[in-house]
Amino acid sequence: EQEIVQKRTFTKWINSHLAKRKPPMVVDDLFEDMKDGVKLLALLEVLSGQKLPCEQGHRMKRIHAVANIGTALKFLEGRKSMYRGSPIKLVNINSTDIADGRPSIVLGLVWTIILYFQIEELTSNLPQLQSLSSSASSVDSIVSSETASPPSKRKVATKIQGNAKKALLKWVQYTAGKQIGIEVKDFGRSWRSGVAFHSVIHAIRPELVDLEKVKGRSNRENLEDAFTIAETQLGIPRLLDPEDVDVDKPDEKSIMTYVAQFLKHYPDVHNAGSDGLENDREDRLILKEMKVWIEQFERDLTRAQMTESNLQDKYQSFKHFRVQYEIKRKQIEHLIQPLHRDGKLSLDQALVKQSWDRVSSRLFDWHIQLDKSLPAPLGTIGAWLYRAEVALREEITIQQVHEETANTIQRKLEQHKDLLQNTDAHKRAFHEIYRTRSVNGIPVPPDQLEDMAERFHFVSSTSELHLMKMEFLELKYRLLSLLVLAESKLKSWIIKYGRRESVELLLQNYISFIENSKFFEQYEVTYQILKQTAEMYVKADGSVEEAENVMKFMNETTAQWRNLSVEVRSVRSMLEEVISNWDRYGNTVASLQAWLEDAEKMLSQSETAKKDFFRNLPHWIQQHTAMNDAGNFLIETCDEMVSRDLKQQLLLLNGRWRELFMEVKQYARADEMDRMKKEYTDCVTTLSVFTTEAHKKFSEPFDVSFINIKLLIQDLEDIEQRVPVMDAQYKMITKTAHLIANESPQEEASEMFATMSRLKEQLAKVKECYSPLLYESQQLVVPLEELEKQITSFYDLLGKINDIITVLEREAQSSALFKQKHQELLACQETCKKTLGLVEKGSQTIQKFVTLSNVLKHFDQTKLQRQIADVHVAFQNMVKKTGDWKKHVETNSRLMKKFEESRAELEKVLRVAQEGLEEKGDPEELLPKHTEFFSQLDQRVLNAFLKACDELTDILPEQEQQGLQEAVRKLHKQWKDLQGEAPYHLLHLKIAVEKKRFLASVEECKAELERETKLVPQEGSENIIKEHRIFFSDKGPHHLCEKRLQLIEELCGKLPVRDPVRETPVTCHTALKELRAAIDCTYAKLVDDPDKWKDYASRFSELSSWIAAKETQLKAFKDKAIETTNYSEVKHASDEIRNDVAKKGETLSWLKSRLKILIEVSSETEAQKQGDELAKLSSSFKALVALLSEVEKMLSNFGDCVQYKEIVKSSLEELISGSQEVQEQAEKILDTENLFEAQQLLLHHQQKMKMISAKKRDLQQQMAQTQQTEGGLAGPGREELQKLESTLASVEQGRERQERRIQVTLRKWERFETNKETVVRYLFQTGSSHERFLSFSSLESLSSELQQTKEFSKRTESIAIQAENLVKEASEIPLGPKNKQLLQQQAASIKEQVKKLEDTLEEEYVLHQS
């Protein structure tokens, strides 16, 4: 949008100046009219008042346009900026872009002209703007993306700063804005309301503007009024329209162009800056104060530098001065910027700059000195670090010549590489010093060391990027130098040319520079290297702004080279064309001069000779024309002197030609008559053929079809187009016939006129017939085309249906493609049917149209009707084919499904089996699983698959049977391979299991041997030998190893000979042999242990002594009678002996077992001796036991009676105590909190009573048995037991009565809880139902709700009776006081709730009735 506004504004501005030219010019299209450079030069002539060379003429070529534009650009570059005084720089503007009409470049060029010739010139004349300071020209700063330097921070409040744009804005602000009180911030939105334009007009002519009225109007009204006043009252051209300004972002350049025109009409520009002198005085005062500060700073710096102190204090002092230096640096650099347009400094500025440079140099020298003062090698590192910093911060000086800049950068790049290649070495040395904080034991100032560390970080982090940037800049200026060189060469080649020799020299120069030097290849290589370097630099830099700048440069360079290369490549063709015209001009001039001399002599010859000589006059006419064309081209392209010579030569030759031609032109008629007769004959033939062919189209019958009608329409349209041509030819041939007839015999003339009359009639008939036929054919072609499309669509659908059926016949019915194609088939059939209906309808329309037409009688519809019949036949065939296919598919689908299912089942079995064969893991876990799986492999799965395959093969085509059979063979082979591999696989698993078990048993035996060896010193060899024999018995692991080895041998014997698993028994035999040797060795050691009989002899002797002593004691008891007095003593002694007998029996058993063990490892003699002694000892022990039994029987007969009494008494007392305790616990049942807990306690009570009853029965049974066997007790013992039995019977009777009473009470309590639950449930149900009935939805349901309420009331009455009974029952149940009170409260609460419910139902019933 802004580009459109700029184009319109700039065009109006240019026309306002071109109108002053004589003659005036007008620019209609800015981009097009600037291409040839003519109007551009005219504009510059008007603006500058200078005459500029310009190439003009009808034969202007691009090279001349580029030359004109180059002249204009060169003129602009020669002008000086009004602010800087240096030449204007045209950034990214070149001749070829203007010649191509690139909008952005054309607008940029025009803006540069406006800025220089209007805005800068007008603003530079204002006194208050004289002190504008800028280090770059306004053209540079505005054209190059309009980026200006940041605003000044100097203490000048009203001084106008910046370039022409700022100057113009300040003028508006200080004149119009300041006086009227409006704020103008920019040349954009500040002008949208139109008030700013009115304020400018008011500042020039106050009487023209009513500002109060302006503030109350709309934007468009203000803008229109301001532009009109400026145009009519001030004579300022109307460059803008209201709609250009009343937008969100008005175009600044357009507004600046328009506003700058008001400067010419401002009445007094000298009063606008009255405070300029005051500002200058203030500036001078600031500069003087700053000079005083710098001089004092320098004195302090010198004094500090000369002070004797240690390195630490010196560096602290240096840091203090450097901080002050950095604080003032920006302010001072801003103050010493040039204020004058010529870039020169004032005297005060120069003095400040001189002092500042001196201080800067002294401070930097001091820094270097401090670094060098550090102990080696740190001083050397500091000096290197300073040089590296200088190199990294060094600015690149841009020379006027890009090649020199590139060479300078290359030299510096080599120097910097040499300098920075030692970075790593210095860095390592410095890091070691930094770590120890000293050099060879000499401490280093910490601040200086930290400063050097930061500097090292800066150097190491930026050096690589710095080198990349310098490489990029070197290549950049190399490329720019090539571009400049190409442009300079191009300017030397597109000049006004001289003679042929000079043009040849230019061509040779072009070939030498472009082709021989391979300039284009050189540029392309440089560009590609630059492109790669730029990408690396941008990636390393990471700055978005730098990346945009680099990409902008690359894009602009690419665009510039694209246009420039086209221009350079076109130079050769231009030079060759100039040389070619020189050759043609020289040849034609020489031959024409010679012929003119001969022709002038021939004028004095006879008529016959002249007629014969001048017969080839047309050839020389062509030569004369060629000479003039070449001469005119050379006049336009050559310089002024050559052009003048060519013009004089052509003038002389054309004069001689003109005089001669007037004398001999009649001799050129001889050939002319022959030509006219031939032309007449050709035209008559052409007209005859045309009319004959046209009549054939009007009458000959032909078949009705779209192609035929289309061709007929083309023929008729061709006839329509040719009729005017034929008319023109007829008229022309008529004139030719009259000319020929005038010079021909009468008979020949009559024949010619008869032929012309006949052709005229035929042409008239053609004109009469073609138009109606063309019209009706055009009417017919539309339905025919539609019919043709429908028929084509119909056959396409048939073809698609056939293709789909073909695909479906090959595709499996279960596949996604089959389903998709089947859906497509159904859709195509439906579409085909619809298309057939459209075809029939279209054919009927066409037949009706042809039948009713009078013009189309010769149209034959037979072919069309036959075509429609073919369509019907094709449709019927399609219907039949699809029906047959569907039947076939239904048959195949069943067989295919059966085949796929059986194959899937077989593949699943094979896959699982293969996975089992390949499965790795614990063989003991794998064996049962695999055995079960392979034992269940069913041949029926394979048979079912083969049967399904046979059935499917019968219906498949031959080409598909092979693939099916191949799949079957593959699966069958897999099945056979599986059956062959499965047994061996199971054998391998069994062998692995047995081997694992074998090795486990071997390890178990080895572990036992190790254990026995370790335990021999601790437990003795006897136990170990016993354990050894048990462990290594026939059923032990050792023999189990032999059985497993035998099983492994049997299993391996079933394997193939080459199976490596067959070697398993060999390793197992070796392991078993080693185990046997270890067992034998261990057993031999155990047998040879000497300490075997020691413990045995000790125990034998001890047992023998004990038997003898006890035998004597028991014989004494037997011989003496047992009485009550000695019963306890005898009983005690016999009990002790009995206890000892058990222990001594164990000792005897141990001796026997020990003897058995020792016998096995002892001699036969010793074994026999020890065996006899032990047998004798065993007999003595048995005799002792028999004697003890006799004594015990005696004691038992005597003590049973006494003992029975105590036992029975104790048992009866225990039963009585238990019964009383249970009876007390039963009383607590009625004090529980709820019925369930009471019932549980009752059950617990009953169980305890059952246990007491069982004990009683046992005691009674024991007493009865004792009385039967021993005769019972007599005397006081019997009476005491009967008394205890009587007490027990009375306790049991009381307990039974208590239990019956508790059971009755609990039944009453249970009945109370049941009745309570019934009432509570009714209350809950009644409450929810009652709420539901109250929310009736309509009056109609009111009666039913009344009835329900009445029923509730009746039921509630019965529930109320139950509630009364609950209260009564609660008072009658004999519970504990606490429970009885709780039941009464619950009954009373329920009764109260029932009462409330009765009252509520009664109230609602009454309410509903009312």
The predicted-structure confidence for 805-860, as pLDDT tens digits, reads as follows 777 766 656 567 777 877 887 888 888 888 888 888 888 888 888 788 777 777 77
Average pLDDT, the chain: 78
**For residue 1091, what pLDDT band results from cuts at 50, 70 and 90?**
low
**For residue 1268, what pLDDT band results from cuts at 50, 70 and 90?**
low
The average pLDDT across 738-757 equals: 78
Q: What is the pLDDT of residue 1319?
A: 83
**For residue 447, what pLDDT band results from cuts at 50, 70 and 90?**
confident
The average pLDDT across 1336-1352 equals: 63
Q: What is the pLDDT of residue 589?
A: 92
Q: What is the DSSP string of 35-103?
A: TTSHHHHHHHHHHH--------STT--HHHHHHHHHHHHHHHHHSB-TTT-SBPP-TT--HHHHHTT-H
Q: What SS3 class is residue 442?
A: strand
**For residue 339, what pLDDT band results from cuts at 50, 70 and 90?**
low
**For residue 1161, what pLDDT band results from cuts at 50, 70 and 90?**
low
1104-1137 pLDDT, tens digit each: 888 888 888 888 877 776 666 777 778 888 888 8
Most confident of 900-909, 921-930, 1057-1066: 1057-1066
Decide if 650 contacts 703 (C-beta within 8 A).
no
Q: What is the pLDDT of residue 534?
A: 92
**For residue 156, what pLDDT band results from cuts at 50, 70 and 90?**
very low
- CA atoms lying within 13 Å on the CB side of residue 933: 20
- Whole-number Cα distances in Å, 63 to 323, 561, 1090: 62, 17, 132
The average pLDDT across 361-376 equals: 81
Query: For residues 657 and 650, what is the distance between their CA atoms, to the nearest angstrom?
Result: 10
Q: What is the DSSP string of 449-461?
A: HHHHHHHHHHHHH
The average pLDDT across 1076-1097 equals: 74
% of residues, the chain, pLDDT over 90: 5
Q: How many Cβ atoms are within 10 Å of 57's Cβ, its own excluded?
A: 12
Query: For residues 1179 and 1161, what is the distance between their CA atoms, to the nearest angstrom?
Result: 25
Q: What is the pLDDT of residue 134?
A: 35
Largest CA distance in the chain: 211
pLDDT over threshold 60, residue 143: no
pTM for this entry: 0.39
pLDDT over threshold 50, residue 273: no
Of residues 977 and 453, more confidently modeled: 453
pLDDT over threshold 60, residue 329: yes
- Whole-number Cα distances in Å, 49 to 46, 72, 74: 5, 14, 16
Of residues 81 and 1247, more confidently modeled: 1247
Decide if 1220 contacts 1291 (C-beta within 8 A).
yes
Query: For residues 1340 and 155, what is the distance between their CA atoms, to the nearest angstrom?
Result: 96
For the ranges 181-190, 651-660, 1101-1110, which has the lowest average pLDDT? Answer: 181-190
The average pLDDT across 1199-1207 equals: 65
Q: What SS3 class is residue 606?
A: coil
**For residue 515, what pLDDT band results from cuts at 50, 70 and 90?**
confident
450-483 pLDDT, tens digit each: 888 888 888 888 888 888 988 999 899 989 988 8
Q: What is the pLDDT of residue 365?
A: 84
For the ranges 323-332, 738-747, 748-757, 1244-1253, which has the lowest average pLDDT? Answer: 738-747
pLDDT over threshold 50, residue 151: no
Of residues 739 and 246, more confidently modeled: 246
Give the distance, in angstroms, between the CA of residue 739 and the centroid of all CA atoms in the same chain: 86
**For residue 81, what pLDDT band results from cuts at 50, 70 and 90?**
low
Q: What is the pLDDT of residue 580?
A: 93
pLDDT over threshold 90, residue 607: no
Most confident of 238-247, 397-406, 756-765: 238-247
Of residues 738 and 32, more confidently modeled: 32
Kindly report the three-state secondary structure assignment for every residue of 1070-1082. HHHHHHHHHHHHH
For the ranges 308-317, 1019-1028, 1297-1306, which has the lowest average pLDDT? Answer: 1019-1028
Q: What is the pLDDT of residue 162?
A: 41
**For residue 1011, what pLDDT band results from cuts at 50, 70 and 90?**
confident
Q: Give the DSSP H/E element, type plus range, for residue 639.
A: none
Q: What is the pLDDT of residue 673?
A: 65
Query: For residues 1096 and 649, what is the distance between their CA atoms, to the nearest angstrom?
Result: 163
The average pLDDT across 714-737 equals: 82
**DSSP code of 513?**
I
Give the distance, in angstroms, between the CA of residue 39 and the centroid of all CA atoms in the same chain: 55
**For residue 412, what pLDDT band results from cuts at 50, 70 and 90?**
confident
